[in-house]
Amino acid sequence: MSKSISPSATVGEDRVYPLRTGKIRLTKATASEINRAVGVRPSEARFAERLIRFVINPDADKSQVSASPKTATDKSAVKKKPSPSSK
Amino acid sequence: MSETGSKSVFLNVPYDSAYEALFATLVGTLVSLGQTPRCVLEVRETGQGRLERIYELLKSCGVSIHDLSRAGRTARFNMPFELGLACSFALAGKPHEVLVFDTIPYRLDRTLSDYKGRDPLLYHGRVDGLVDCLADVFQTSPGPSPDVLKEEARIIRKSAREIVKKYGGSLFRPAAFRALVAASTRQARGSGLIQE
């Protein structure tokens, strides 16, 4: 639970009046409920999974993140090996 | 203490690039608190019945957040209009809580004197200030500490920057918004803040 607040509480130097009713008690939704309500598609969910993995671990292959779910499987998204002649 | 019973929060915020980090913070923090962020990005820009769809979306949310920090800098009247709609629910006795955010103390007394007597939540234009305001107002059981919420929001802001790159340079597109929500639920679930 976050800290309680009174009408005379402050943020910085300013007083905060949260609401006439004070704190709002929330009922938690599940991840599935949230995604369903907003209309998250499976491809967006897969993208989010790779994205968060990358954000948590930036050493992961970035091409897996920046490419869209569709293009991630495209041949163009695959890193080309340098040809011997280019050395 | 009030309880709306709803698990959705309507976001009435400025859709400009300077607001993207704050928007990502709002979405990430709300999802960390187990709330579904809803906004007009989900409603088609054109076509008949847009107003009705916005009204229905707002009505389906137990809480609405109205960030009036851009007061006086916009020629669009959508934001104060949506605040008026939300206030009408609350004044009609519907289970709807209206939260007004701003960055400058007492400004609202001049720009929206009809709202006098209900001071806005001041976040001083800071992302962490925004999280503090949300943590002050909302109570969940069990609830994460403000420090945990700030760390979650930091990760979501980083994700948002990647989403902006992928989705045409703006977070304020329907697909980018869905991707942001998906990333937020993924992160909150991974941190054990919400259930699958």
Of the pLDDT bands very low, low, confident and very high (cuts 50, 70, 90), residue B181 is very high
For the question of an ipTM over 0.85, the answer is: yes
Evaluate whether A34 touches B31 at the Cβ level (below 8 Å).
Answer: yes
Mean predicted confidence (pLDDT) in B192-196: 93
Six-digit token pair at B21? 């980090």
The amino acid present at B127, given as its one-letter code, is V
Show the CA angle centred on residue B65, arms to residues B59 and B66, nearest 5°: 105
**pTM for the complete prediction?**
0.82
Q: What is the pLDDT of residue A65?
A: 57
Helix (H, G, I), strand (E, B) or coil at A44: helix
Q: Residue B84 pLDDT > 80, yes or no?
A: yes
Tell whether A14 is within 8 A of chain B (Cβ). yes
Question: In chain A, which residue's Cα lies nearest the Cα of B179?
Answer: A44
A54 touching B (Cβ < 8 Å): yes
The residues with which B92 forms a beta bridge, in sequence order, are: none
pLDDT tens-digit profile of A49-71? 999 999 988 776 555 555 555 54
Contact B179 A39 (CB under 8 A): no
Helices (H), chain B: 20-32, 50-59, 78-91, 107-111, 127-137, 146-166, 174-190
What does the block give as tokens for B5?
């019973």
Q: Which residues of chain B are within 8 Å of residue A40 when distances are taken between CB atoms? A: 178, 181-182, 185
Cβ pairs A/B, distance under 8 A: 177
Burial code of A19-28, b = ≥16 C-beta within 10 A, e = fewer?
Answer: beebbbbbeb
**Contact across the interface for B140 and A54, Cβ inside 8 Å:** no
Task: Find the CB nearest A33 among B7, B122, B136.
Answer: B7
B124: left (phi over 0), alpha (psi -120 to 50) or beta: left
User: Region A10-25: what's the mean pLDDT?
Assistant: 54
Using a CB-CB distance cutoff of 8 angstroms, which residues of chain A are in contact with residue B38?
37-38
